[in-house]
A and B are shown apart, each in its own frame.
Chain A
Amino acid sequence: MAAPIDSSNRSATISVLVENEAGVLARVIGLFSGRGYNIDSLTVAPVEDERGRSRINIVTSGTEMVIEQIKAQLDRLVPVHRVADLTREGPHIAREMALIKVCSTGNDRAEALRLADAFRARVVDATIGSFVFEMTGSTDKLDAFVDLMRPLGLAEVSRTGVAAIARGTRVI
């Protein structure tokens, strides 16, 4: 008899190396929407120009059985070269970048700048009434910074979503 099914949800960061062809992103997104899987974050960009390959990083969540199913479903798409579950296959690094616009004056403005410094966010645009901070880090760190900016005049956030890679010599 099979072991009891673990029904608790976990988060998974999955990297997919795909052929850089028309419609490949639509295939991946369609698979998630069509089968009712979650997408918490998704990034895509060409990574091997000479071989025409792109990398898709997906952060998803579900039971162990669902995540295994997601990986198998991704792997059987024709233009997919490799699927790696970075969360399961050893330590990995996951980072995202955010541009955060804060519009405030006076004390709030000074406090926003101090906190930005503490979080190692860079000021990439400044006017009398606004800052745009650029910040790179884990999703949690970005979330924390955004929350702190909220009472200090947070106006707009633009985030890239997660890019992830395995630590050490291991490659996808």
Chain B
Amino acid sequence: MSQTLAATRNPAAADMQSGAEVLLRALKDQGVEVIFGYPGGSVLPIYDAIFKQDTIRHILVRHEQAAVHAAEGYARSTGRTGVVLVTSGPGATNAVTGLLDALMDSIPLVCLTGQVPTHLIGNDAFQEADTTGITRPATKHNYLVKKSEDLARVVHEAFYVARSGRPGPVVIDLPKDILIAKAPYQGVPEAPHRSYRPVTHPDPAQIVRAVAAMKQAKRPVVYFGGGVINAGVAASDALTRLVRKTGFPCTGTLMGLGAYPSNDPQFLGMLGMHGTYEANLVMHGCDVMLNVGARFDDRVTGRINAFSPDSTKIHVDIDPSSINKNVRVDIPIIGDAGVVLEALLAAWDADPTPSESQAVAGWWRQIAEWRGVDCLKFTQTRDRGGIIKPQYAIQRLYELTRETGRETLISTEVGQHQMWAAQYFKFDKPNQWMTSGGLGTMGYGLPAAMGVQIAHPDALVIDIAGEASILMNIQEMATLAQYRLPVKVFILNNQYMGMVRQWQELLHGGRYSESYSEALPDFVRLAEAFHGVGMRAESVDQLDDVIREMIACPKAVIADICVDQKENVYPMIPSGAAHNEMILGAGHGRHAAEITDEGLVLV
């Protein structure tokens, strides 16, 4: 009777459920469809609640780090917020690498971590870790829920924080008693957040200044990054329209690939340490640079005091702390990339000043000359039994997947294969390219591909891998088998940690200290052990058949592509060098600096 009374007095009281049930209800209200997770003692109440419902699907990974990367792949390929569920202690600490990866690459995630009951916090209890302390510098924000009545509010707030402004990972640490105790539910709040309200609409005066500078540009460049992809498909479309309308050349960062069609003649390829000759020289020699959603990362700028020395720099970013962090800019624009690009398009039309199209045409002639160097050229023997060049393997993978006409999404691990994939695989749409850019996490690609395949069950999802990186999360082959995910793992196997080997060759006198992998597994049999299909190409005449067979296979595949062990990634700007101090490959025989200055005089 007293219960009935309480219910009539306080309607919310009738709505009390266990904390775990409230949590799942909040996730549903946030539109969550999939959770990537791994159970453990302190999250058992959540797993019990998951068992009792069928709206949200749970994907059981084999390691918590993989859960986070899978959620990243899911988020990056859909534009939605990825959700992770791990237990306390080791569950949470295993997730840290993935969280930092998501922070560096601005991927929206909510990671639910179990915690020991509130009365045991601080007691060095079994599987206790100071999760909020450990993850503070690895997340955009984190919460420890200490009161049941805060639970629903915190979950909604976490999703808001994860996806707003510059996206990032958010941790919610959930003590077990909070999951068991009855908690009230509250829906998605309509009021704005108390303190976190990122600016998305730019200052109109800055847009006018930017367009004025762009109209006067004689040697312009548009440099775009992952921010355009985070701003949604419409932002990529606006970028494409702006580049075409202005007639400017454009280049993209590793994270930005796909925001502008890679096969378009106005695209100069990726820039930076392993960017193209033409992209880097254009950056070095430009007079006006429009940076949209990129952060002047050190892999992009090279030596900072020699970076694009003569340009007026316009920087569009949603994160004010990215402005003037590494490079001093002239016209900062704070806002969402999509909104800013639309504003720039409108202002470009509204400004009656003609653009310097004649000078820009001259700039394009210079670019054509730089392009003539053909910096990505390589020589592939076609002899029977000939060694496969890794570049050729990627090129054929691209061409043969394109022939199928299927939607193709690519993830990578980290190293040489990642750079070759960025250079030779062409993306014509955003959200098709998943790679660990900022943190450079080996072991990212396979779990990320898993998350992508969950979100795109009918698409062709390929993890371009190296034989070293793939072993860092190889256990996820079991997850692929459990959920029948037909992910293709395309290993460029050179038996070395190739990027380490390359640096040792160029910078450490060819002393290949610990970069050779002795006793690699037999990847064909490894695939079979995990209920997948293994295949191998040892010479160039076998390559196409293996790729075709891999694409056609309805199951998970590991394709072990044995490639030239000594191949290096070129072009390369050595660490600490300037853009015009690029090293070209063996076939070129000259350094960029030799022609840069005279090249610039021409324009």
Q: Which residues of A contact B (CB under 8 A)?
A: 1-3, 5, 18-19, 22-23, 26-27, 30, 34, 65, 68-69, 72-73, 75-81
A171 to chain B, nearest CB (A): 17
A8 to chain B, nearest CB (A): 15
In the complex, which residue of chain B has the Cβ closest to the Cβ of A72?
B321
Q: Does B511 contact A (CB under 8 A)?
A: no
Q: Does B194 contact A (CB under 8 A)?
A: yes
Stretch of B230-238, B262-270, B325-333, B339-347 at the chain-chain interface: B325-333
Stretch of B74-82, B134-142, B401-409, B594-602 at the chain-chain interface: B134-142
With A1-B311, A26-B133 known as contacts, the answer to whether A73 contacts B321 (CB < 8 A) is yes
A29 to chain B, nearest CB (A): 10
Instruction: Give CA–CA (A65, B332) in the complex, Å.
Output: 14
- Would B321 and A69 count as touching, CB distance under 8 A? yes
Contact flags B107-147 to A (C-beta < 8 A → 1, else 0): 00000000000000000000000001100110011101010
B residues 137-186 with Cβ under 8 Å of A?
137, 140-142, 144, 146, 161, 165-166
- Would B329 and A2 count as touching, CB distance under 8 A? yes
Give the bracket for the number of chain B residues in contact with chain A.
20 to 34
- Would A76 and B330 count as touching, CB distance under 8 A? no
15 further A-B pairs in the complex, CB-CB below 8 A; given A1-B330, A65-B324, A78-B141: A2-B313, A3-B328, A19-B195, A22-B146, A23-B132, A23-B142, A23-B144, A34-B137, A72-B321, A72-B323, A72-B325, A73-B321, A76-B198, A78-B140, A81-B194
A18 / chain B contacts, CB cutoff of 8 Å: 195
Q: Does B101 contact A (CB under 8 A)?
A: no
Going nearest first, the 10 A-B pairs with the smallest beta carbon separation are A72-B321, A2-B328, A78-B141, A72-B320, A78-B196, A81-B195, A73-B321, A2-B330, A34-B137, A76-B321
In the complex, which residue of chain A has the Cβ closest to the Cβ of B321?
A72
Q: Which applies to chain A's interface (DSSP): helix, strand, loop or mixed?
A: mixed
Q: Does B416 contact A (CB under 8 A)?
A: no
- Would A76 and B320 count as touching, CB distance under 8 A? yes
- Would A68 and B133 count as touching, CB distance under 8 A? no
Instruction: Give CA–CA (A18, B132) in the complex, Å.
Output: 18
A6 to chain B, nearest CB (A): 10
In the complex, which residue of chain B has the Cβ closest to the Cβ of A69?
B325
Instruction: Give CA–CA (A34, B137) in the complex, Å.
Output: 8
A22 / chain B contacts, CB cutoff of 8 Å: 144, 146
Q: List 6 A-B contacts (CB under 8 A).
A: A1-B311, A2-B313, A2-B330, A23-B142, A79-B195, A79-B196
In the complex, which residue of chain A has the Cβ closest to the Cβ of B195?
A81
Q: Which applies to chain B's interface (DSSP): helix, strand, loop or mixed?
A: loop
- Would B324 and A69 count as touching, CB distance under 8 A? yes
Q: Does B319 contact A (CB under 8 A)?
A: yes
Instruction: Give CA–CA (A81, B132) in the complex, Å.
Output: 21
B33 / chain A contacts, CB cutoff of 8 Å: none
- Among candidates B146, B312, B320, residue contacting A1 with C-beta atoms closer than 8 Å: B312
Contact flags B243-279 to A (C-beta < 8 A → 1, else 0): 0000000000000000000000000000000000000
Give the interface centre of B133, B165, B321 by most chain A CB atoms within 10 Å: B321
Instruction: Give CA–CA (A72, B165) in the complex, Å.
Output: 14
Q: Does B544 contact A (CB under 8 A)?
A: no
Give the interface centre of B137, B161, B198, B313 by most chain A CB atoms within 10 Å: B137
In the complex, which residue of chain B has the Cβ closest to the Cβ of A74?
B321
B141 / chain A contacts, CB cutoff of 8 Å: 77-78
B329 / chain A contacts, CB cutoff of 8 Å: 2
A147 to chain B, nearest CB (A): 38
- Among candidates A30, A34, A78, residue contacting B161 with C-beta atoms closer than 8 Å: A78
Instruction: Give CA–CA (A19, B194) in the complex, Å.
Output: 8
B140 / chain A contacts, CB cutoff of 8 Å: 78
Q: Does B310 contact A (CB under 8 A)?
A: yes
A160 to chain B, nearest CB (A): 26
- Would B320 and A65 count as touching, CB distance under 8 A? no
A98 to chain B, nearest CB (A): 32
A27 to chain B, nearest CB (A): 6
Give the interface centre of B133, B136, B140, B309 by most chain A CB atoms within 10 Å: B136
Instruction: Give CA–CA (A65, B198) in the complex, Å.
Output: 22
A77 / chain B contacts, CB cutoff of 8 Å: 141
In the complex, which residue of chain B has the Cβ closest to the Cβ of A77?
B141
Give the interface centre of A3, A23, A30 by most chain B CB atoms within 10 Å: A23
Instruction: Give CA–CA (A2, B288) in the complex, Å.
Output: 12
- Would B319 and A76 count as touching, CB distance under 8 A? yes
Instruction: Give CA–CA (A22, B325) in the complex, Å.
Output: 29
- Would A65 and B328 count as touching, CB distance under 8 A? yes
- Would B136 and A30 count as touching, CB distance under 8 A? yes
A80 / chain B contacts, CB cutoff of 8 Å: 195
Instruction: Give CA–CA (A93, B194) in the complex, Å.
Output: 28
Instruction: Give CA–CA (A69, B323) in the complex, Å.
Output: 8
B196 / chain A contacts, CB cutoff of 8 Å: 78-79
In the complex, which residue of chain A has the Cβ closest to the Cβ of B329?
A2
With A19-B194, A19-B195 known as contacts, the answer to whether A5 contacts B328 (CB < 8 A) is yes
Give the interface centre of B132, B146, B161 by most chain A CB atoms within 10 Å: B132
A30 / chain B contacts, CB cutoff of 8 Å: 136-137
A27 / chain B contacts, CB cutoff of 8 Å: 136
A3 / chain B contacts, CB cutoff of 8 Å: 328
B146 / chain A contacts, CB cutoff of 8 Å: 22
- Would A26 and B195 count as touching, CB distance under 8 A? no
A79 / chain B contacts, CB cutoff of 8 Å: 195-196
Instruction: Give CA–CA (A35, B313) in the complex, Å.
Output: 25
B residues 413-428 with Cβ under 8 Å of A?
none
B residues 201-257 with Cβ under 8 Å of A?
none
Instruction: Give CA–CA (A78, B160) in the complex, Å.
Output: 11
B198 / chain A contacts, CB cutoff of 8 Å: 76
